[in-house]
A and B are shown apart, each in its own frame.
Chain A
Amino acid sequence: GAGVSQSPSNKVTEKGKDVELRCDPISGHTALYWYRQRLGQGLEFLIYFQGNSAPDKSGLPSDRFSAERTGESVSTLTIQRTQQEDSAVYLCASSSRQLIETQYFGPGTRLLVL
């Protein structure tokens, strides 16, 4: 079946603009995660949705970052007033409730803020 998809695959924007990144998880996966990975760095946890529970937003770096998820489907990560330090790959992953350790990652969105 289809894996996790993300769009756009690449995004170039100007400093100060807002961007919206989209993630389509694997159908039936209740858990959805957003991570950020800067060049040459590890994965930085941003936010985690599990079913209808309140999301874990503890990793969001500032109030310019927000994410939404409708039910157990699509999620969007919004970055307002982008800064150059926001340049990174934004990875989305999903997992089933039964196998939470197996996260399936999307290909990521490469964001470049000029």
Chain B
Amino acid sequence: RKEVEQDPGPFNVPEGATVAFNCTYSNSASQSFFWYRQDCRKEPKLLMSVYSSGNEDGRFTAQLNRASQYISLLIRDSKLSDSATYLCVVISPPGNTGKLIFGQGTTLQVKP
């Protein structure tokens, strides 16, 4: 079983739609979680961290469910420019050793 698993999609949604992605992780000792974004043929970039209490950044909301070991990303009012692959990332324990484990990514296509 992979340490971090995501539905690869693609998710095809119209502009203005709300879309949510989930990601599951296998190591219950994992402490830190993030979402990265990767545009086509570009390098990944940090989108946002995921905090235990949930957090928002504009149209983006990230949530963590430790009991079920999943992380979610919600995008409201989708824009064409949101089209990208969204990578779920977990820092591998023990502690913050710096080794990030990436999921394979979920591809989002926002259509006009």
Chain A positions within 8 Å of B, measured between CB atoms, are 31, 33, 35, 41-43, 45, 48, 50, 56, 91, 93, 95, 100-103, 105-108
Contacts and interface: CB of A to CB of B under 8 A. Distances in A.
Interface stretch (B55-63, B70-78, B93-101): B93-101
Main secondary structure of the interface of A (DSSP, over half): strand
B98 A42 contact: no
Interface centre among A42, A48, A95 (most CB of B within 10 A): A42
Interface of B: 32, 34, 42-46, 49, 87, 89, 91, 96-105
Contacts of B100: 33, 45, 100-101, 103
B97 A50 contact: yes
A42 B96 contact: no
B77 to A, nearest CB: 26
Nearest to A95: B98
Nearest to B100: A103
Contacts of A91: 43-44
